[in-house]
Amino acid sequence: MTDGPLIVQSDKTVLLEVDHEQAGAARAAIAPFAELERAPEYVHTYRITPLALWNAR
């Protein structure tokens, strides 16, 4: 699948394409376990940390 709003990278970063029609739903879905690191205009960068995963349980 290549048409979604998220790109998950091997270093546990998640890129969210802000202008995608499903960006709001994707943001809500990753909020419990990913921390926002950078929020430039078009692509937001989130980090999945062990603590964030633990707290999302």
Buried b (16+ CB within 10 A) or exposed e, 22-47: ebeebbeebeebbeeeeeeeeebbbe
Percent of the chain surpassing pLDDT 90: 77
pTM, 2 dp:
0.85
Closest by CA to 30, choosing from 2, 51, 10, 8, is: 8
For residues 39 and 46, the answer to whether their CB atoms sit within 8 Å is no
Residue 12, phi-psi category: left (phi > 0), alpha (psi -120 to 50), beta (remainder): left
Structure-model confidence comparison of residues 57 and 36, the more confident one: 36
- As a whole number, the mean pLDDT across the chain is 92
15-29 per-position pLDDT tens digit = 999 999 999 999 999
- Which tokens belong to 15? 């890129």
